[in-house]
Amino acid sequence: MFGLRSLKISFLRQYLLIKLILKLVGFLSLLMVLGCSESEEINCVSEESEAQIVQLQAEITSLKSELADRQAAVKTLEKATQLVLIKGDVVIARNKHKRFSFDLPAGATQVRFYGSFKADQKIEVLLRDEANYLKWRQNSRSGRSVWRAIPGVSGDADTSRLKTGNTYYLIFYFAPACKLLACPKQAIISADFSLNYQAP
């Protein structure tokens, strides 16, 4: 989020600078015309002055175009959203899970879910919408995942397959396949997952 905020500030500074340049160029152009009108010569506007005015007008047109591009870029950045779903350690007891939920608004574009994890025990990590999360709660083998890490001690995610207008759950599940007395009591996970999208 900090990176997006810095980028917005940078674009805003450039936007204000271009507006200032436009005002200065317009002011200089006006001074040239006024200076000419006060001259006693009949044809006071020399060819050189005319060329300078044409050049200034071309620069104004170019700056206006660049200003419009900057305005569009600022609007795009204002709609950019980054959600940090989790960044840090998670401790999960044996045969338990922890979830992190988020809403993806209807009409959102450029959706991207990404991140990674490392654990001291084999775990399963899934991303599901609400309907499939409820199915998973009833039976961990039912329903579909938008993204799933095969049970292991590490994994990476990078997908844009999320449908807008849904609630999603990022699930960390620790269910070791071992005899009870020999099983570890918990798993410690270091995770970093985020969601990016453009608001409608």
Residue 66: enclosing H or E segment and its boundaries?
A: helix 47-79
Question: What tokens were used for 133?
Answer: 């999360």
For the chain, the domain total comes to 2
pLDDT for the residue numbered 40 = 46
Q: 46: domain range?
A: 2-79
Domain end position, chosen among 57, 79, 101:
79
How many residues belong to the chain?
Answer: 200
pLDDT for the residue numbered 85 = 96
Do 126 and 168 lie in one domain? The reply is yes
Do 40 and 129 lie in one domain? The reply is no
What is the CATH classification number for the domain harbouring 165?
2.60.120.680
d(CA 8, CA 12): 6
Distance of CA 47 to the CA centre of its chain: 51
Do 32 and 91 lie in one domain? The reply is no
Question: What tokens were used for 127?
Answer: 């991303």
Do 88 and 180 lie in one domain? The reply is yes
State which residues of the chain have pLDDT below 70: 1-54, 56-57, 60, 63-64, 67-79
Domain end position, chosen among 79, 110, 126:
79
Q: SS3 breakdown of the chain: % helix, strand, coil, rounded to 5?
A: 40, 40, 20
Do 105 and 60 lie in one domain? The reply is no
Do 42 and 128 lie in one domain? The reply is no
Do 52 and 95 lie in one domain? The reply is no
